[in-house]
Copies of this chain bind each other. A is one copy, B any other.
Amino acid sequence: MKELVIGFLGCGNVGGGVWKLLEGFEKELAQRANLKIRVKKVLVRNVNKARTCSVPQSLLTTCPEDVLCDPEITLVAEFMGGEQPATEYMLRALKSGKTVVTANKMALALNWHRLHEAARHGRAGLYYEASVCGAIPVIDVLSGPMQSNRISSIMGIINGTTNYILSRMYEQGEDYAAVLADAQKLGLAEPDPSSDVEGMDAAYKLSIMASLAFHTRVPFKQVYREGITGVTQEDIAWGKELGYVMKLLAVAKREGDTVEVRVHPTFLPKEHPLSRVHDSFNAVYLSGHACKEMMLQGRGAGDLPTASAIVGDIMRAGNATEHFFPDSAFLAEPDVSLQFTRNWNTRFFVRMSAVDAPGTLEKIAGCLARENVSIATMVQRDAPVDGRLTLVLITHSAPEMSVQAALAAMPKAVCQVQSVIRTEG
């Protein structure tokens, strides 16, 4: 049996979950992986803080060198979060030949090629299943079984906080601010929720998934991003009426050498498999030229689900005899032939407040027609308020820029655009 000596960087919620999962799992580790795992050192900010897990005080240290410079430690598990100092610590570990297992999507997305290059340089492994969607093995599936596919599209509900908020807004008719406050009380949203509700968290994960799926680095800065802070109950209710469910969707598509990567509130038809992914569940829907449609669904966060991914990586890393990286996904620069576009084609939901007078519809329709945007569905209610009425339309598939140009051209006196929501599925 092989003894694997590991060090933790961090011991908060995720680290505590890993400690709990490893405790009492000795028999399984021996049977399944021929491994005995010993945690030798645990880097923390404060050794005297109360912890939910039973890690002995004697293992705790505030000195990173105790983990990074101990030659007996061959695997470093990182769950500090944040870009720095986590990235620096991981780079040091990898360069010195220590394998790294991380849950840190931000550090990984922002330093993708540097971390992979350090791993190659140190002939060490870099494992990051836990960085995307907790227990859902999407990194494993993209890196392994899906290698036989040209993946054309990934659509994911990859942020549990926003999915919880949007699910409640859809199901209970509540307003954004009220649900957010409640989610914070329940621990489902952070006190500062901006990374989740502004789509940063989802964009980090999308950058990682798209790089693996498209076999070329998809830098975080290429991800177009719109959060859910501007989502209104009015739009959700209109969507519901028209058969759509709103999700904060992460979308990556590749057609030939053109790639689009984007995170934004999205209407999905209520029959779409992703529409049924409720509450804080996550799901990733893939399309490949051989596998066709596939969906992975499960727990995207939480201490034990995240620990499930980390311990799975530790078990795999513990038996890897060699780490193999031929793929250009890990190079610093995206494939030069690749074009990142922001002029994607999709169907658009548009809600407007328009003057209740002859000629209004003609003007609106004219602006759309001049940009060659065609209307699929339109609803106008005969209930004007202050001489203005609400007009909702859904276009046929059209280029983003044409739709934006058409809406910008609409005369403000006649018509004010209140929301534009992209649709998929």
Partner-B contacts on A (CB < 8 A) = 21, 25, 28, 31-34, 129, 135-137, 140-141, 144-150, 215, 273, 276, 288-299, 302, 304-305, 307-312, 314-316, 319, 321-322, 324, 326-328
Contact = CB atoms under 8 A, between A and B. Distances in A.
A148 B34 contact: no
Contact of A324 (B144, B148, B319): B319
Nearest to A20: B290
28 contacts: A31-B327, A34-B324, A135-B145, A135-B290, A135-B292, A135-B294, A137-B146, A140-B141, A144-B312, A145-B312, A147-B312, A147-B316, A148-B309, A148-B311, A149-B308, A273-B276, A290-B308, A291-B305, A291-B308, A292-B304, A293-B298, A294-B296, A294-B297, A295-B295, A296-B297, A297-B297, A321-B321, A321-B322
What 9 pairs across the A-B complex have the smallest Cβ distances? A294-B298, A290-B308, A148-B311, A135-B291, A137-B145, A34-B326, A145-B312, A291-B308, A148-B312
A292 B297 contact: no
B298 A292 contact: yes
Contact of A32 (B147, B308, B319): B147
Given A32-B326, A147-B33, A321-B322, A292 B302 contact: yes
Given A144-B140, A316-B144, A294 B299 contact: yes
Contact of A145 (B299, B309, B321): B309
A71 B201 CA distance: 52
Contacts of A273: 276, 297
A32 B288 CA distance: 16
Contacts of A146: 137, 308, 312
A296 B299 contact: no
Contacts of A315: 147-148
A304 to B, nearest CB: 5
Nearest to A216: B31
> Taking the full assembly, how many copies of this chain does it contain?
2
Given A129-B145, A295-B296, 18 more contacts: A31-B326, A32-B147, A32-B327, A135-B145, A135-B290, A135-B294, A137-B145, A146-B312, A147-B315, A148-B314, A273-B276, A292-B305, A293-B298, A293-B299, A294-B296, A297-B297, A321-B321, A321-B322
Contacts of A312: 144-148
Between A34, A141, A145, A148, the greatest number of chain B beta carbons within 10 A of the residue's beta carbon is seen for A148
A312 to B, nearest CB: 4
A297 B295 contact: yes
A145 B298 CA distance: 13
A308 B288 contact: yes
A389 to B, nearest CB: 37
Between A34, A147, A327, the greatest number of chain B beta carbons within 10 A of the residue's beta carbon is seen for A147
Contacts of A32: 147, 215, 326-327
Nearest to A311: B148
B328 A31 contact: yes
A15 to B, nearest CB: 14
A144 B310 CA distance: 12
A59 to B, nearest CB: 21
Contacts of A304: 289-292
A144 B147 contact: no
Contact of A140 (B140, B298, B302, B324): B140
A297 B283 CA distance: 11
Contacts of A21: 148, 290
A234 to B, nearest CB: 27
Contacts of A295: 295-298
A133 to B, nearest CB: 10
Contacts of A147: 32-33, 312, 315-316
A290 B14 CA distance: 12
A145 B149 contact: no
Nearest to A324: B319
